[in-house]
Amino acid sequence: MKEMNLTRREFLEKTSAGLATASLARRAPAVSANPNVLALKGGTPVRTAPFPSWPQTHELDEQNILKALRSHHWCT
């Protein structure tokens, strides 16, 4: 692949023009609830519930962090 040396300005010009063109393109209508089709295109979604909140911490995590903080030995 040929290496392209672009300045930041040239890179932004080229990518923003491509994104603008892609956003104007017509999208295909949703097909049906077909499991072989992406959910974005009308297929069956893989997840029905939202992702859990992040970060997930537990009481033991908090205790261990406080223990390490109070010990003043952070890098051993």
Residue 21's Cβ-count burial label (10 Å; 0-12, 13-18, 19+) is exposed
Q: Taking 80 as the threshold, does the pLDDT of residue 15 lie above it?
A: yes
Using alpha carbons, select from 30, 60, 64 the residue that is nearest to residue 44: 30
Q: Taking 60 as the threshold, does the pLDDT of residue 28 lie above it?
A: no
Q: What is the pLDDT of residue 70?
A: 92
Q: What is the largest CA-CA distance in the chain?
A: 60
Q: What is the pLDDT of residue 31?
A: 46
Q: Yes or no: say if 64 and 58 are a contact pair by the CB < 8 Å rule.
A: no
Q: Taking 70 as the threshold, does the pLDDT of residue 7 lie above it?
A: yes
Structure-model confidence comparison of residues 54 and 28, the more confident one: 54
Q: What is the pLDDT of residue 33?
A: 56
pTM: 0.31
